[in-house]
Amino acid sequence: MQEEFKDYFEAARIAGSLADVARSLVKPGASLLKTAEAIEKEIIAGGGKPAFPVNLSLNEEAAHRTPSLEDKSVFGEKDVVKVDFGVHVNGSIIDTALTIDLSQENAKLVETAEKALENALSVMKAGVEVKAVGAEIEKTIRNAGFKPIENLCGHSLDVFLLHSGEEIPNTARGSYVLQEGDVFAIEPFATTGGGRVVDSSQPAEIFSLLQPKNVRLPSSRKLIELAFSEYNLLPFAKRWLSKAFVSEPSLNLALNDLVRQNLLHPYHILKEINGGLVAQAETTAIVEKDSVKTLV
């Protein structure tokens, strides 16, 4: 296994210290933009690359918030912050997340997501249906008095593919049977709300290329070439591309054109349907015959 998964182990080594980095940065009054950029720089300094933009989702936001270059937002004293980050080495991805409760008033919610992750890992091994893993997540969260977010899930990982086809649900569903050697990101979400997320109306700041293709607009061609050469099919931040374009309107034109042609996928911020607080816990693991090998 050591040789086959060596790039995963190297990505895990880089990711291993980042939770402590995140905890040192996420403080009331700190800039979201500077925090995201600092974590991304740590990934690169460690010898890896970001597998996707650092997500800093607040309170009722479950995922997909990353700051723009113009974002002046700072963390509030009562924010519940989901810090979701990924590291890849040669396309092998570690995906991990933690929740930081700045008010210290939502410890039970945060601990419930963490316990759901722990319990999910305890039942995972080759031959187990993902339905059984989802049932364990759901039971843990509901027994604590919260709801799992039913339309979010963990996901299988492959080289340069963040979501490679199979799911680890947060409820008792799914028929896939775990196979030895599968690599999964497992990510329970617990909420005080209704248990579903919806797209927010805010403009997306994260995108991924669905397929490289010849297009008419010069700015769109430039964006495709840049995105594919730098990020392959992995998600990227709009702010990462700004320096390569002469103006913001030119970049926006290319993004909108490629989304319209279904060549780019936009990741809108996901918000809890009833405005409930959301906590997330996530790790990456390799399925083994009798257990899983947790990488971070």
pLDDT at 28: 98
Q: Which of 84, 114, 138, 205 is catalytic?
A: 84
Give me the phi and psi of 154, to 5 degrees please.
Answer: -75, 175
On whether the CB atoms of residues 296 and 284 are closer than 8 A, the answer is: yes
Q: Which of 10, 79, 95, 136 is catalytic?
A: 95
Q: Where are the domains of the chain?
A: 6-200+275-294, 206-267
pLDDT mean for each 10 residues of the chain (296 residues): 88 97 98 98 98 98 97 98 98 98 98 98 98 98 98 97 96 98 98 98 96 93 95 97 90 97 97 98 98 98
pLDDT at 1: 61
| Best CA proximity match to 14, nearest among 43, 54, 40, 53 | 43
pLDDT at 282: 98
**What whole-number distance in Å separates Cα of residue 132 and Cα of residue 173?**
8
Q: Is 184 helix (H, G, I), strand (E, B) or coil?
A: strand
The fold of 206-267 is Arc Repressor Mutant, subunit A (1.10.10)
Q: Is position 84 annotated as part of the catalytic site?
A: yes
Using alpha carbons only, give the angle 138, 83, 65 rounded to the nearest 5 degrees.
95
Q: Is position 163 annotated as part of the catalytic site?
A: yes
Q: Is position 248 annotated as part of the catalytic site?
A: no
Q: Which of 10, 60, 272, 282 is catalytic?
A: 282
Q: Which of 7, 37, 150, 163 is catalytic?
A: 163
CA distances from 255 to 36, 77, 95, 274 (A): 22, 35, 25, 30
Cα atoms in the Cβ-side hemisphere of radius 13 Å centred on 290: 0
Q: Is position 7 annotated as part of the catalytic site?
A: no
Q: Is position 64 annotated as part of the catalytic site?
A: no
| Best CA proximity match to 228, nearest among 249, 204, 203, 207 | 207
pTM of the model: 0.96
Q: Which of 88, 114, 138, 155 is catalytic?
A: 155
For 6-200+275-294, CATH number? 3.90.230.10
Residue whose pair of structure tokens reads 């009331």 in the numeric block: 28
**What whole-number distance in Å separates Cα of residue 182 and Cα of residue 227?**
27
| Best CA proximity match to 264, nearest among 218, 205, 183 | 205
Question: What's the gap between Cα 145 and its chain centre?
Answer: 25
Hey, how many other C-beta atoms are within 10 angstroms of the C-beta on 257? 17
